[in-house]
Structure 1
């Protein structure tokens, strides 16, 4: 019988693989699109690198080596089950965001030629449900990996990206879509209904 620590690592790897498989076709399509605005270079590249370190590199090192062992704590069945629940929720939300965005999706602060403001599907309620999915991804990591460094690295890494990018992203959208985005912003929540 495998240990709860190993089970958490296996579920985390399966979760990341599922995330990758959901995103891959959209990423391939996005690379071929013509852009009218591309703010990926500079600050956004740094944000993405920090987020990828917290959500990918640090937990992968822990999964592969168990390091840093000094930051580990006993695994909890309750946290493990909660981690599975947040993983499923994150993947479902991740799929819904990609489905709603379609060809308008991009990994960075970019707008495509003939870009349209998406306000249907999950975007009818939240302006940034992709970020909600990533917050759930970071929470899943913290719940499944019983290590203070590896578990919380996603919250720190993605938190940095989120809080440093949300303002510039909304400013870019308002600049591109003007009053349409202003009205959309007035009737939706950023990432959490009724809270934020």
Structure 2
């Protein structure tokens, strides 16, 4: 099996793993009433851009090979690094969902009886879910040997991240006040000790 085909298979497994991890939390979240939301047109656009980069464009490439002009032959080392990033992304997804439990939301929502989660993986990082998505986008870039489809995840998710993290932190500060300011002061945004 070629490194390119193996990388495509691994990308499909990454997306399937992400869905398997997320699905039960999404079902539970629908049962809890949203008390406050920042959803709207801007959030929908951000989510669509991210979905295009992490799902639609790479899915088209895996299914059809389009766009062929941007395809190259990957090295086994590149694919191996992609598999390592894939595993790390799925582990991070699982840890974040487990720590959030009932507080999980796909968007900028404050649920009824919402609590500030500062345990588990959230003890050191405020946004480990975003860390997981950055790692997923990196895995995609390494696993899919196409300059458009492979890099689309970094661009798509990067757009969502940079346009959303500020409003999200403002919403958390407005909801939890000093508790969130203290939490923000002692944690990194994405990577402990770095950022």
Query: TM-score band, normalised by the shorter chain?
Result: over 0.9
Q: Distance in 1 between matches of 2:41 and 2:28?
A: 23
**Pairing 1:103–2:105 present:** no
TM-score calculated relative to the size of structure 2: 0.99
Q: Distance in 1 between matches of 2:110 and 2:73?
A: 45
Unaligned runs of 5+ in 2: none
Q: Distance in 2 between matches of 1:74 and 1:16?
A: 22
Q: Distance in 2 between matches of 1:10 and 1:128?
A: 28
Q: Distance in 2 between matches of 1:55 and 1:188?
A: 27
Q: Give a deviation string over 1:97-131, Cα, whole Å, max 9, x none.
A: 00000000000000100100000000000000000
Q: Distance in 1 between matches of 2:100 and 2:39?
A: 19
SS in 1 for 2:177: helix
- Cα distance, 1:47 vs structure 2: 0.5
TM-score calculated relative to the size of structure 1: 0.98
Map 1:13-52 onto structure 2 (within 5 A).
13-52=12-51
Q: Distance in 2 between matches of 1:60 and 1:124?
A: 35
- Two-structure CA RMSD over aligned residues (Å): 0.6
- Cα distance, 1:45 vs structure 2: 1.0
Q: Distance in 2 between matches of 1:38 and 1:130?
A: 19
SS in 2 for 1:111: strand
Q: Distance in 2 between matches of 1:93 and 1:3?
A: 28
**Pairing 1:78–2:77 present:** yes
- Cα distance, 1:39 vs structure 2: 1.3
Runs of 4+, deviation exceeding 3 Å: none
Kindly tell me the number of residue pairs found equivalent between the two proteins: 195
